[in-house]
């Protein structure tokens, strides 16, 4: 079962709680990590880092996990969440963009603005957590390069060598 870690600052609290409740109703292992009540004095970095850390810890343990952060300023939340080693946070404006974020960069944290319409936000969340990364050598190599820079501060150009039978091929009839 897919786990989704939710959190929100004061600017996204109402929408964040609504999305959390929708995820529970849809059968996801939804977990709330934000405040119980809106706090006008809270700051988004605390929630962004918390969600990023929880997602990375779960994924490192083999858990199918994602994060959803709802804040007043989405781009600020993206920057803060991406400070967590292993977090790949994005913000999206459509379900298609959410699916592409998963397919192309294997994003694991979705950041939304608190002023988003609930239905639109839910469609983005659902598309994000149900989409998969493209299983190609090119995508794998690109993710390895990002992780290499994140961990070593350099890109030496990992040469991913796979035999043809190791490459997952997607066909319309799959």
For residues 81 and 103, membership in a common domain is answered with yes
The answer to whether position 173 is within a domain reads: no
pLDDT at 169: 47
| Global confidence as pTM | 0.85
Provide the number of structural domains found in the chain: 2
Look up residue 125 and give its DSSP letter: H
For residues 19 and 96, membership in a common domain is answered with yes
Has residue 165 got a pLDDT over 70?
Answer: no
The answer to whether position 12 is within a domain reads: yes
Q: What value, to the nearest 5°, has the Cα angle with vertex 128 and ends 2 and 34?
A: 70
Residue 122 is part of which domain span?
3-130
Answer for the pair 73, 114: CB distance below 8 angstroms, yes or no.
no
25, two tokens: 């109703």
> Could you tell me the pLDDT band of residue 156, with boundaries at 50, 70 and 90?
confident
Looking at the DSSP bridge assignments, the partners of residue 110 are 68, 90
């Amino acid at each position: 079962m897919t786990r989704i870690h939710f959190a929100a600052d004061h600017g996204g609290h109402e929408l964040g709680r609504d999305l959390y409740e929708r995820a529970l109703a849809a059968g996801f292992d939804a977990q709330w990590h934000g405040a119980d009540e809106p706090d006008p004095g809270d700051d988004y970095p605390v929630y962004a880092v918390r969600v990023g850390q929880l997602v990375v810890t779960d994924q490192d343990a083999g858990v199918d996990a994602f994060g959803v952060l709802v804040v007043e300023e989405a781009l600020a939340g993206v920057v803060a969440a991406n400070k967590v080693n292993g977090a790949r946070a994005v913000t999206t404006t459509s379900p298609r963009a959410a699916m592409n974020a998963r397919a192309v960069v294997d994003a694991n944290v979705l950041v939304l603005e608190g002023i988003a319409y609930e239905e639109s936000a839910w469609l983005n969340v659902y598309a994000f957590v149900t989409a998969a990364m493209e299983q190609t050598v090119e995508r794998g190599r690109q993710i390895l390069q990002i992780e290499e820079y994140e961990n070593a501060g350099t890109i030496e150009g990992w040469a991913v060598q796979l035999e043809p039978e190791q490459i997952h091929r997607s066909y319309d009839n799959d």
